[in-house]
Amino acid sequence: MQDKVFYLAVNDGTTYDALVTAFGGIAGGGDKKVLKAGEKEGFGIMIETGLDTKELAGTAANRTSYLSSTGLSDTGFDVSVDTRFIATVYGPSATDTFGNTPGSGESITKISLKPSAPSSKDRDRKHYSKAKVKAIANNVLKRESDTKADTATSVIAGPRSSVVSLNFDTKIIPDETFSKFGKTGQTISGASGTYKYIDTTVKVVSSTGVVEQLPVRIVKKE
């Protein structure tokens, strides 16, 4: 996230590289602040579910007691997008993993996104449709023997349920659409040239009812 939004760079061979450079380059983490439309590998928006509390340790036993055995383990997510601008939602594959290694505590992350079409109309939002994506097990655990803390990999302090990584592909957006629904001729701090963008919101709802509203800025270098 940058400037309180998730930047989604139109995949035109120019915009993504310009923004990564503006946001610190690869060495400075710039590639972790920009989504590249249609990209299956690399940076995605990560959402974890579980109990974010320091009162319960994120152990395997607590995950079973407080999440698995009570039906609070998420199995998937509905992702609602404005289909005037977004054509495809990308979510995890069945073989993806997110966890940490016993002993060292180092993160184990293998994520390769696959496309899902937003084909189910969202009755609560005009122009929006929903895509279904898989949840993968959040296997980051608290172990006293680990060198690296579990919270170095996970943003959740307590028992963890699931995780999803998201990216999107845009439709071909003409200039008049940017002018009508967004802004043109805009500067971005650290970036050369001017940009046009459209701000939209992506709604993510887990199978257990956890809701996230993601501010996404679709941007293209002019």
Where is average pLDDT lowest: 82-86, 104-108, 190-194?
Answer: 190-194
Distances (CA, A) of 41 to 94, 130, 139, 211: 15, 22, 20, 25
> Shortest CA distance to 104 belongs to which of 153, 66, 45?
153
Q: Above 90 in pLDDT, residue 97?
A: yes
The count of domains in the chain is 1
Tokens 């607590």, located at residue: 62
Q: Above 80 in pLDDT, residue 1?
A: no
The β-bridge relationship of strands 97-100 and 76-82 is: unpaired
pTM, to two decimals:
0.92
Domain presence at residue 135: yes
* Residue 81: domain span: 6-221
Domain presence at residue 1: no
> Shortest CA distance to 188 belongs to which of 199, 175, 180, 197?
197
pLDDT in tens, 13-37: 999 999 999 999 988 888 889 999 9
pLDDT at 45: 96
Supply the DSSP symbol for 194: -
pLDDT in tens, 56-85: 999 999 999 999 999 999 999 999 999 999
- Span 76-103, average pLDDT: 96
Q: Above 90 in pLDDT, residue 2?
A: no
> Shortest CA distance to 25 belongs to which of 13, 34, 14?
34
Q: CB burial class (10 A; 0-12, 13-18, 19+) of residue 197?
A: buried
pLDDT at 17: 94
pLDDT at 41: 84
Q: What is the mean pLDDT of the chain?
A: 95
Domain presence at residue 32: yes
Domain presence at residue 95: yes
Give 3-state DSSP helix, strand, coil % of the chain, rounded to 5: 15, 40, 45
Tokens 């993504």, located at residue: 16
Domain presence at residue 132: yes
The whole-angstrom separation of Cα 171 and Cα 91 is 18
Domain presence at residue 213: yes
Domain presence at residue 89: yes
pLDDT at 93: 92
Using a pLDDT cut of 70, give the percent of the chain over it.
Answer: 100
pLDDT at 59: 97
The whole-angstrom separation of Cα 106 and Cα 99 is 8
The whole-angstrom separation of Cα 147 and Cα 102 is 9
Q: Above 80 in pLDDT, residue 42?
A: no
Distances (CA, A) of 210 to 63, 204, 206: 17, 8, 5
